[in-house]
Amino acid sequence: MNTGILREVHADRYGFKMSDMTVAAMLKAYLQEMKVEEVPDLLSRIVSPGMRDLRGGTVKERGLEQETWTTIDGAELAELIDKARVVAANYAAGWQAQKGEKLLHKTIEYIKDDVFSSLSGERYVASMPVEMAEFITDCWLAVG
CB 92 within 8 A of CB 116: yes
86/116 Cα distance (integer angstroms): 8
pTM score of the predicted model: 0.78
Buried b (16+ CB within 10 A) or exposed e, 102-112: eeeeeeeeebe
pLDDT tens, residue order, the chain (144 aa) = 555 778 889 999 988 998 898 899 989 999 999 998 899 899 989 987 666 566 556 677 776 666 565 678 999 999 999 999 888 877 777 767 678 887 777 777 777 677 777 789 999 999 998 889 889 988 988 886
